Each structure stands twice: as structure tokens, then as C-alpha cells.
Chains A and B, each alone.
Chain A
Amino acid sequence: MENTIVKAENYNSYFGDNHVVKDVNISINKNEVIAVMGPSGCGKTTFLRGINRMHELIPGATSKGKILLDGENVYDMNAIYVRYKIGMVFQRPNPFPNLSIYENVVAGYMLNGLKVSKADKDVIVERSLTSAALWKEVKDSLHKKGTFLSGGQQQRLCIARAIAMQPELILFDEPTSALDPISTSSVEALFHELKANYTLIIVTHNMQQAARVSDRTAFFYMGELVEFDDTKQMFTNPHDQRTQNYITGRFS
């Protein structure tokens, strides 16, 4: 129990009358890599965005139930604080186009108006970019705009930006779906290293990716959490017929 970082209890999400995530109960441990997979429109992204309360920013979106972060319901906390505590990386790399690489990494501090000394910033930037496996590539061009980087580098910059805030938990919303295969593998390789210090929840379309990177996998279908198990178990011997059908490619 002490090892649990995120726990959803009867969590439901809606877009207006549309019930998108249905009664999800799930418990995620520290330093785990969790893959969330399922066909399009199954509610996996909506569930992910419910964890850091990004879901409610869409007009008409509501949710019910609890999501506990370290035992505390995020829906009882200040939404801004929740998002500050949880990192997030999006489908398309979205570095701030008006900021340099350096500023992008410390954007979480800068934009929140937190005073950080130049020396501390230097440390944060180097540490975060190193963790995001980007330091070597950009250390000589830190003051160039982040948008000059390639797609894969931009995505790693976004990961560095999330890491810089030292979150315990980082959410990834299909982080490689807009990237080419080489960039994808560079980001995937990163997941293995990040696991040591962070908990990762990765929404993915790509079953092979789920199998490659995750410890445990959650399978969503039609808004329900159908199955949540060790990734190996899930891909070799799923309990639920629907999981079986999805994995064997009978629908996608």
C-alpha cells in the first residue's frame, strides 16, 4: 500500500452526456512503467488527463470518483497544484516557440514566477537534459530556440521540461505517435532510464511499444478498464476474451 502512488477509485469521466471513462479502479506503484493501451476512443487518453486534471479544461468535460495521488484525492486539491506536481508529455512535441532550449527546460519555474538563481538553473538544465538523453546533442546550442530541434529532440526537450519540475509521476499521452522510428526508439530507450526515479504512465496506440517498455499494462475498451496485469502475462496469456481479441489483432 505504501508503494502506491496513484490510485483511481470508481473514476468516471464525461464529455457532456457522453460517458467516456467508466468506473475505473486501478492502483499504480512507484517506479513502475505502466502502459495504457486500447483502440481509439476507448477513453485511455481521457483517463490519463483525468489524473492531472487536464480533462476538465475542455468545455463540457466533467468527472466523478476519486484519483488518489500519494493517498490524497486530486479532486480535493487545487488543480494548478496537481498539474505542478505531475509531469505531462503530449502527443505532439510542444516546446514553447518563444523560448530557447535552456528556457524551455526551466519553463515550469519561469512561467510560475519562481525565483531560481542562475547557478541553480544551470544545474537543473544540465541534470534534466542529461536525464532526457539530450544534453550531449544540445549543450552547445542551449540558447537557440527549441523549435529548431528535430521532432524526436523536441519531444525529449518536453520530457526534460517535465523532469525539471522533479515530479514523482510523469504522464505520457502517445508520446511517440508523431515521431519517426528512430526518434521513437530514442524516446523508448529513455523510458527505461527514467524508471529509476519516476513513475511513468504511457498511453499508447502501439501494442509493440507497450510490450517493449512497460512493466504492467492496462487495457481499456469502450471506457472500461478491461484488464490490468503484468505486461508479459497480458501479452502471452490474457484473462479476458476482449484483450485476447485486441492483442491478436481481431480489432483495433
Chain B
Amino acid sequence: MDQRIGIRNTKSVLFKGLIIFFAFVITIPLIIVLLYIIKQGITQVNWHFLTHVPAPPGEKGGGIANALMGSLIMVVMASIVAVPIGMLAGIYLSENPRTKLAYYSGLCVDILQGVPSIVVGIVMYFWLVKPFGGFSAIAGSVALAIMMLPIIIRSTEQTLKLLPDSLKEAALSLGVPYHRVILKVLVPCGFAGILSGITLSIARIIGETAPLLFTALGNNYFSTNITGQMESLPHVIFTYATSPYDDWHDLAWGASFILLLFVLTLNIVTKLLTRKWKIQL
């Protein structure tokens, strides 16, 4: 018996060691990628880089001002569309979980989440680009909004589902009408969770390239015209990186670094905000 206990203990220790080892191993690729991009990119980033548009081939310098502005415009427009729609749909799903409509629209949300972004891009190309005669930032924003929706819907739904019914009853018993119960009690109480869903969805779409290839395409010049082509961060990386010029490759690293910085900041800000605004139930 003593011996068997010894074997058992050894197995436990081995198992523990194994899970610790792999928990550590999975951080390595991330760290390597991060370090590499930072190393390659940080030297490119300076004021000139952030405030100038790409230079013509053969000329020195050039930056990503057009891409920064384009990404900003398209993400903001996509959010304006996706946040209210996503929140309202999420509210419906959490409020009426047992209805047929909730079942099927929940199913659609899951499927939508799994649709490859390039497919969303193609569909938008045939719906919004071809009929209207050209690539546009509007089409790009719609494609991005569609990518954002499932994340916002599910996070709103999950957050609101976690709130106790007693909270709703408290408001209803005061004679508060249903829409105010939702908007003034449930949504504020779940604000941290809903907000983190929104910021995560932004972090997700800000790096999407495929849907933009078919919609906003790109633009070598600074443009705020939403009915025309528009540059974006992921697209500028794509064009710089696939070009034959070495100094353009360096610019691609710089843009990658900026994009990475955005995504990291969004993730960290989300974590901090949820902690700060978390409501003690």
C-alpha cells in the first residue's frame, strides 16, 4: 500500500508539472510575436510616420495618417450601427430566452460568428459595392458592423442574464414601465459587461483585412469621404508588406506595431473598465 501511495503522489506531481508547463508554453508564441513586432516596428514610429500619407515609390519617408484616419472613421461608423442593434438584440435574447424567435436568432448569431470574414466581404461587395458603382468606406463599415454584431449580442445577453430577477422586480414594483426597467436598471447594472463586449468587438474588427479588401479597398491619399475608397491599418500593412520595396516593408512593421498597440490597449482598457465599473450585486 505504501508503495502505491508513493506512485500516486508521483503521478499527481507529474500531472501538476505538466499543466504548469503547458500554461507556460502557450505564452511563448505570444511573447515572441509581440517582441518581434515591437523590435521591427518601434523604430519606424515617429511623428512623421503618424502624420504623413504614403510616399510614392522611390521617395523616402511616408506614413500611415490616411490609414489611421480611415480605420478610425470606419470603426466609429461600424460601432454606431452595431452597438445599438447588438444591444437591443441581446436584450431581447436575455429577456425572452424560451421563445422560438430567440432560439432561431440565437442560432443565427452563432452562425454569423462563425462566418469567415472574407465571406462577409464578398457579400458586401455584391450588395453594396457593385450596385453603387464603387468601393466605399460605407460598405467597409457595414462589413465590419456585421462582424461586430455577434460579439455584442452575446455579451449583452450573457451579462443581463446574470443579473438577478429580484432587480427587475424591484423596479417593476415601483411602477416603472418596462422600457425604463431595461434602460435605467438592467443596462446600467450590466454596463461593465456590455462595455467590455463592445471594446472586445472593436479590438476584433480593427485588424480585419479580408472584408475591407472587397469594400473600402484602400487609398494612397488622405480621405474622409465615406462614399469613396478609404485606407485602413490592416490594409496598409497588406499593401506595404506585399510591395517589392524594402523601406515599405519597414513601414508595414511600423503599422503592425501601431495596430498591435491599439488592440493591446483596447484589451487592457476593457479589463480596467470592467473592474472599475463592476457592480457589486
Contacts and interface: CB of A to CB of B under 8 A. Distances in A.
Nearest to A145: B280
A165 B174 contact: yes
Interface size class of B (residues with CB under 8 A): 20 to 34
A87 B191 CA distance: 28
Contact of A84 (B174, B184, B188, B281): B174
B169 interface: yes
A20 to B, nearest CB: 18
A90 B164 CA distance: 13
Contacts of A81: 175
Given A59-B98, A112-B180, A97 B169 contact: no
Given A94-B166, A98-B279, A80 B98 contact: no
Contacts, number: 77
Nearest to B189: A98
Given A94-B169, A97-B189, A108 B280 contact: no
A90 B98 contact: no
Given A54-B169, A112-B180, A97 B174 contact: no
A111 B184 contact: yes
B280 A111 contact: no
B145 to A, nearest CB: 29
Instruction: Point out which of B184, B189, B191 has the most chain A C-beta atoms below 10 A from its C-beta.
Output: B184
A66 interface: no
A112 B188 contact: no
B172 A83 contact: yes
Given A80-B175, A94-B166, A158-B170, A111 B281 contact: no
B280 A112 contact: no
A242 interface: no
B45 interface: no
B177 interface: yes
A243 interface: no
Contact of A111 (B98, B174, B279): B174
A84 B188 CA distance: 22
A44 interface: no
Interface in B75-114: 98
A80 B173 contact: no
A80 B170 CA distance: 13
B185 interface: yes
A101 to B, nearest CB: 14
Contacts of A80: 175-177
22 contacts: A54-B169, A57-B172, A80-B175, A83-B174, A83-B175, A84-B174, A84-B175, A88-B173, A90-B170, A94-B169, A94-B170, A96-B170, A96-B185, A97-B167, A97-B281, A98-B191, A98-B279, A111-B171, A111-B176, A111-B185, A112-B177, A165-B174
List of 8 A-B pairs having minimum Cβ-Cβ separation, nearest first: A84-B175, A88-B173, A94-B166, A83-B175, A108-B174, A94-B170, A111-B176, A97-B279
Interface of A: 52, 54, 57, 59, 80-85, 87-88, 90, 92, 94-98, 107-108, 110-113, 145, 147-148, 158, 161-162, 165
